[in-house]
Structure 1
Amino acid sequence: MQTVIIVVHLKIVATLIATVMLQKSEGGGLGMGGGAGFMSSRGTANLLSRTTAILAVGFFATSLLLSWLAGYDRKPSSIIGTPASQSQPAGPATPISPPTSGGILDSLKKSDEQQQNQPAPSAPEAPRSQ
C-alpha cells in the first residue's frame, strides 16, 4: 500500500512541477515575462492556477498519509537496550567505586594545583616548555 501511495505522490510532484513551470511569469518589475507566451489567454491561466491548487492539495494529502503510515508500525523502545519484560536482578546493587588510577579530570586537577603552588615570578619570563 505504501508503495502505491509513493508512486502516486511522485506522479503528483512531477505534474505539479510541470504545471508551475508552464505558468506565465509575473516578474514584470525586472523586465522578465513580457510578450506573448505559449499560453497567454486568461482562460488558460485560470486553468493552470486551479490545476496547481488541486495538485498542491493532493501533494499535501499524500505527504500526510505517507507520514502517518511511516509512524503507524513504530513501537516505543527502551533506550537501554533491554526488553521491558525483564526485571531487575534481585540482589542488592553494589555501589561503583571511583577509579583509583585517576582519570583525565584528576590529572587536570593535579596539573592546576601544581601551577598554583609554583611561586610567582619576580620579573617577566619567557614561557618554559614542560
Structure 2
Amino acid sequence: MMTVLLVLHLLVTLALIGVVLLQRSEGGGLGIGSSQGMGSFMTGRGTANLLTRSTGILATLFMVLALAMALLGRGQAQRGSILDLPPGPAIPAQPTSQLPPVTTNPAPAAPAAPAQPGVPTN
C-alpha cells in the first residue's frame, strides 16, 4: 500500500512541477501555457484559469498523499538515527596502483660551523 501511495505521490509531484512551469509569471518566465501557437483552443484567460485550478488540485492531492503516507508509516518500527548505530569494522586501504611507493629525500644538512671565528687580519 505504501509503495502505491509513494508512486502516486511521485506522479503528482512531477505533474505539479510541470503545471507550475507552464504558468506565465509576471516576469515572463517560461510562459508555455499561454502561447497562441497551441491552436488557440482557449483564450489566454481560460488557459490561466485551467492552470490555476490544476495547480490547486495537484497541490491538494500532494498534501493529502503526504499526510496519508505519514499516518500509514507512523505504526511501522522506528528505525532510529544512523548516529545511534555502533561503528563498523575498519576497512583496510587497498593500493590503487602498482607504482612503487614515493620516498622523500631528507633535506641536506647545514654546513658545519668553523671551529674558531674568523677574524680579519689587515
**2:34 partner letter:** M
| Structure 1 equivalent of residue 56 of structure 2 | 53
Q: CA-to-partner distance for each residue in 1:64-99, whole Å, 9 max, x for gaps?
A: 011111112347xxxxxxxxxxxxxxxxxxxxxxxx
Instruction: List gaps (5 residues or longer) in structure 1.
Output: 28-32, 76-130
The 8 Å contact of residues 19 and 51 in structure 2, kept in 1 or not, is answered as yes
Q: Distance in 2 between matches of 1:4 and 1:38?
A: 30
| Structure 1 equivalent of residue 9 of structure 2 | 9
Report sequence identity in percent: 46
**1:43 partner letter:** G
Q: How many residues align?
A: 70
Instruction: List gaps (5 residues or longer) in structure 2.
Output: 36-43, 79-122
DSSP 3-state at the match of 2:34: coil
Moved over 4 A (4+): none
Q: Distance in 2 between matches of 1:63 and 1:48?
A: 22
Q: Distance in 1 between matches of 2:23 and 2:61?
A: 19
| Structure 1 equivalent of residue 26 of structure 2 | 26
Q: CA-to-partner distance for each residue in 1:37-62, whole Å, 9 max, x for gaps?
A: 65151000000000000000000000
The 8 Å contact of residues 23 and 33 in structure 2, kept in 1 or not, is answered as no
Two-structure CA RMSD over aligned residues (Å): 2.4
Q: Distance in 1 between matches of 2:33 and 2:64?
A: 31
Report the alpha carbon displacement of residue 25 of structure 1 after superposing the two structures with TM.
Answer: 1.1
| Structure 2 equivalent of residue 44 of structure 1 | 47
Q: Distance in 2 between matches of 1:73 and 1:59?
A: 22
The 8 Å contact of residues 20 and 55 in structure 2, kept in 1 or not, is answered as yes
Q: Residues 22, 71 of structure 1: CA spacing in aligned structure 2 closer, same or farther, 3 A cutoff?
A: same
